[in-house]
Structure 1
Amino acid sequence: MRKNNYFINNMSPSAHIFLVRNIFHHHNEKKERQTIEKMKRNVRNVSITLDTLGKAVAAPQTSMGTQTSLEPTRNLAGTTPDRETFLCDIQPQRSCWGLKPSPPQKNMLKYVLDPKRNPDETIIRTQFTKVQQVTLQRRDFLTLGLARELEATIANCCFQIITQIAQSQQNDVYAVDCYVVPTWLPPHCPDTSSFPNDLANKDFVLIPIWKPGHYMLCVLKLRERHILFLDSLFHKHPEASVGFGDQRYIQICSDLAQRIIPGEWTVIYSKDLKGLPRQKDGNACGIFMLMYALYIVLGADFDFTTADMDTIRTWWCLLLLSGHSIGTEKEK
């Protein structure tokens, strides 16, 4: 195709598009087979395949050579392998995210989080929305699993997991795209055209806020009309009495709350929340943001600290690498 496009260029537009997409399809299938073979060579005693969404799924091999399904629920949150029970069993507590990975999961993590391997290698493809498929590369997982600043694409996928966990436990949550929020800064304003029509009827709206080098979180609790501004470094912002790293977003999110549900709202800052975990150092602000969101939407008391970040990073990687789709079964 790169050598001679003459015959393609002489086709009708519809035939041209069909043939080019067909070429790309076969090319991608070849790359997938190569990736699977490479992973098999590096992860012993584990069978690796792609599911219907192109996600890498691992299953340990028995001594008889047959496969038994790898049940992430058994090591992450429970004992039953079906997806709905898996999501219902996820709880924001140490007994859930603090469990040690199984040997096959350790092998998978060792391969995925190896910084010496190709950072552009596709690890999983997952259905992010009904119309959008997201490809997560090793470089994305390295920002989640290692002590690095979280990348926005994989952060979006983690927020989708949070919304699905909340939905399975009777909480309706909407998470704003991490890439969209910075476009709200002046002279612009939030574009709500992409928001769901029933936004005012949801329980929570999660707004991930990023400024260069630091993540924060705004949570709109719509039923209670509370606005939470959470910053894991709130104790290190003496210049701001409210303890929030970017004052511009306070007004932006407050105005957005009024557009969703006009009326009186109660503003709550990090310093007002008793027992809110603090980030002491490093670049774990993105992980704190995810954990704040998970604990708040499920109404749990915070029981993690900055010392738990390595364990929590591993847990989030396993949630994404498990055979469970981020989207709903209907979306599959």
Structure 2
Amino acid sequence: MKDNIISTADSIIKDINSKIYSPIYLLMGKEPYFIDVITQALLNNVLTEAEKDFNQSIIYGKDIDVYELLTMARRAPMMSNYQLIVVKEAQQLNKIEELDSYLKNYLKSTILVLNYKYESLDKRSEKKKTFLKNVSQKGILFESTELYDSQIPDWIIKNVKEQGYQIQKHIAIMLSEFLGNDLTKINNELTKLFLNLKKGDDIPEKLILSNIGISKEYNIFEFQKALASKDIIKVNKIVNYFISNPKENPLIKIINFLYGFYSKTLTYRYYIDVKEKDISSKMKMQQWMLKDYTEAASKNSYNKLASVISIIKEYDLRSKGVNNNSTDSGELLKEMIFKILH
């Protein structure tokens, strides 16, 4: 599903924009971005502004009983072809599988949208399994999985192009490495950048550096390069910069980055005798993304990398107060980096 999650979402949105609707949309999964985008497409297209007053309902799962929802779904629209019901946080709707009875005799005039975020409906229950099967047959069942890190730059390029702007691949990589895989956050930051551009413009690196708070020299990807090459002087400069700017560079963010980087390096080290294109496949990363992992793996043994993972876990706990009564986050970061590099 990860490989075609974007195209599947695009296909659903294309139908919505073409006024081709389904009676029920169950949008579930760990990645909220696609759930939100599909829902917004429905809110923008199904009803006119005049029709929304009587025919659009946005409710939360914790605030409604499933049987009340069934009653709402069976209600006819007023002076409109459709009524649109959006249930946000549908994972909090108790006995959601009871909606299966509605699917046996649903109204074509009702469009029911269930936003089941951050998880998927448990398929171990027979009733829920039957409900999922019937949703997929009668409407849209969409599982919104998180993208792999290697997919984020291409998604950024696609997103920017769809908004009428341009972005170079290395800039998209910079954004993905700095902002991570939170698509909603990335989209929000891109929207802010667009305010400074004309349609068709290329997003310049300097605009990102000035607007998103990325230092050209002292950022997380320059940190990764310095760690990979064991450039101790540069590593220490960046560490001091991070300590001086704790709001933009909290210790927990750095620890999460380090854990991700060294875990992937350990995986690369395990496959070091395998051809690079095969390692790329096993790590679910494009070949051009392997450079720093290649260098870090060449400078650290498998046992050393395993030890580094243990060090990071230790300092993760210490940053949360375990076995640490007084050492501040700056000192913890210095200690951890020293142990990693020596």
Q: Same fold (TM over 0.5)?
A: no
- Sort the TM-score into its range (normalised by shorter chain): under 0.3
The TM-score normalised by the length of structure 1 is: 0.28
Q: Which has the higher helix share?
A: 2
* Larger radius of gyration between Structure 1 and Structure 2: 2
The TM-score normalised by the length of structure 2 is: 0.27
